[in-house]
Structure 1
Amino acid sequence: MPEQPPYLRIADELRRRIAEQEWAPGDRLPSRAQIAQESGVGENVIRRAQELLISQGVLEGHAGSGTYVASPRQRVRMVRSSAHEQPNGSPFRADMKALGKQGDWESRTEVKVPAPAEIASRLGIGEGDLCVRTVYEFLADGKPVQLSTSWEPYDLTGGTLVVLSEGGPHAGAGVVNRMAAIGITVSHAVEQPEPRQANAKEASLLGVQRASSVTHIRRTYYSDEGRPVETADVVVPASLCEIVYEIPISR
């Protein structure tokens, strides 16, 4: 097997020393120069190891002060399951209620936004065709835990009471219920999760370090006729949330 990169080895060593309580939550770590000297590696290796542990929520960096052991925090459980599509209400709020947290969100909607090439491909429309775009920031007890950008074809909802996902009589009802209100039955959704690093904007909104680990989920809802009716990019930070998939079993 190939040799483990030095920064991963150092990250494992720092994690072990924290687990053995050499440093307690809130303790400031020795300087990078000191750890580098102790470990026989360069300071850049220590920096990469610490950045990895910061992205995982093990450490936290304080600008101008140093690197500290992070206090343990409960990760929010995000359940992905068809069983969590609520006839009335929000699956996110239901998940948060099960954890004893208050679930809420902030949103911003723009109408008649031209579809970029990738979004057009996912929705089965032409590049530049008009869409309704809604940007969400999901909150647990007032703190951001998830981001999402949703796109719906304007020719599907334009002129109806559900054109605004967070406005009108069906505001906040979710894609499935809103589409049902205009006679469209949503039969299934497809999700494609992949790990990546948070960009600067995402990190700022989520309150995590830039380049922290996130799961990027590309989700698309389909009607019973096979037409894509909504697609979204969901960003979930690894240090704040765990993603759980429930698979229904037909009998």
Structure 2
Amino acid sequence: MSFGDQPAYLRVAGDLRQKIIDGTLGPHARLPSQARIRSEYGVSDTVALEARKVLMAEGLVEGRSGSGTYVREHPVQRRVIRSGYRAPGLASSFRQEQADDRVKGTWEARSSQQDVPPGVAERLLLTAGDRVMRTEYLFRDEGEPVMVSTSWEPLAITARTPVLLPEEGPLGGQGVVERMAAIGQIVDNVVEELSSRPGSADEMTALGGVPGHHVLVITRTFHVGGRPVETADVVLPADRARVLYHLPVR
């Protein structure tokens, strides 16, 4: 589609977007009012409003009650490295999600037992009513929230073992591979699927973002001989994360 064929609201949004990108409208600058957009671009109020909605949906601007619409601070993107390699001594929960030894992260976690949710049951090859340990994580890098994660482990595997609670006991805070090895479950395969969707209110509150803005979701499952022993959803703000994969060649 050529520029001239675009709907008017997209043409206006495109011009304002370029001004934000090139710095003409810098961070915290006030976006032109609806009346000014209407006057400068010769469009209707409806077109001006829709153009602003586009920029808000893209996360470039934010509305402030009673004040107007302002250019958001340009987010600093952080690299999230995914790798099958785990160096000795780096087998922590944070390292499991960020295989970069330059990152000194911290995390909070809480665990509880529950019936396996339907979608998770399919991933873990379980049936309705089977019990799992559900653990929620919030990861920080230099104090800033960078990702949230929810994991599920079948209690049929971990119940009455020292690794029942991922963050407690003799192997608390270690990665899945190390914890499972301690009870004779040798992980030999990890599957990850990357997707994108709007973030939930809870996710974006934890990550310091705006509900509805897109997040990247890494759906990860550890296997032992074809049997899933843990699955997790790792959620990152799409505008602040770049996912890099290191894949071994055999």
Deviations 1:93-138 (A, max 9, x none): 5656525xx3111111002x10011111110111120000001111
Aligned-partner residue type, residue 102 of structure 2: A
Distance 1:155 1:91, change over 3 A: closer
Give 3-state SS (helix, strand or coil) of 2:161's partner: coil
Counterpart-to-counterpart distance in 2, 1:162 and 1:14: 54
Counterpart-to-counterpart distance in 2, 1:5 and 1:172: 53
**Could you tell me how far 1:210 is from its partner in structure 2?**
1.3
Give 3-state SS (helix, strand or coil) of 1:24's partner: coil
Contact 1:114 1:129 in 2 (8 A): yes
Q: Structure 1: 5+ residue runs without aligned partners?
A: none
Aligned-partner residue type, residue 159 of structure 1: R
45-54 or 153-162, larger mean C-alpha shift: 45-54
Contact 1:114 1:130 in 2 (8 A): yes
Counterpart-to-counterpart distance in 2, 1:5 and 1:158: 59
Aligned-partner residue type, residue 249 of structure 1: V
Counterpart residue number, 2:79: 77
Counterpart-to-counterpart distance in 2, 1:91 and 1:167: 12
Distance 1:246 1:12, change over 3 A: farther
Counterpart-to-counterpart distance in 2, 1:170 and 1:9: 57
Distance 1:136 1:91, change over 3 A: closer
TM-score by length of 2: 0.87
Contact 1:35 1:46 in 2 (8 A): no
The structure 2 residue matched to 1:98, chosen from 88, 96, 102, is: 102
Q: List aligned pairs for 1:124-135, cutoff 5 A.
A: 124-135=125-136
Give 3-state SS (helix, strand or coil) of 1:98's partner: coil
Give 3-state SS (helix, strand or coil) of 2:58's partner: helix
**Could you tell me how far 1:7 is from its partner in structure 2?**
5.2
Contact 1:6 1:45 in 2 (8 A): no
The structure 2 residue matched to 1:47, chosen from 52, 56, 59, is: 52
225-234 or 26-35, larger mean C-alpha shift: 26-35
Distance 1:141 1:60, change over 3 A: farther
Asked if residue 13 in structure 1 is aligned to residue 15 in structure 2, the reply is yes
Counterpart-to-counterpart distance in 1, 2:9 and 2:220: 34
Counterpart residue number, 2:237: 237
**Could you tell me how far 1:87 is from its partner in structure 2?**
3.4
Q: List aligned pairs for 1:16-165, cutoff 5 A.
A: 16-39=18-41, 40=43, 42=46, 43-54=48-59, 58-83=60-85, 85-88=86-89, 89-90=91-92, 92-93=94-95, 95=99, 97-98=101-102, 102-111=104-113, 113-165=114-166
Q: Identity over aligned residues, as a percent?
A: 41
Deviations 1:125-183 (A, max 9, x none): 11120000001111111121111110000010000010000111111111111101111
Q: Structure 2: 5+ residue runs without aligned partners?
A: none
Provide the aligned C-alpha RMSD in A. 2.2
Counterpart-to-counterpart distance in 2, 1:64 and 1:207: 22
Counterpart-to-counterpart distance in 2, 1:53 and 1:186: 40
Asked if residue 216 in structure 1 is aligned to residue 212 in structure 2, the reply is no
Contact 1:97 1:103 in 2 (8 A): no
Counterpart-to-counterpart distance in 2, 1:123 and 1:185: 16
**Could you tell me how far 1:91 is from its partner in structure 2?**
6.9
**Could you tell me how far 1:37 is from its partner in structure 2?**
4.3
**Number of equivalent positions:** 242
Distance 1:169 1:28, change over 3 A: same
Counterpart residue number, 2:173: 172
Aligned-partner residue type, residue 229 of structure 1: V
Contact 2:81 2:245 in 1 (8 A): yes
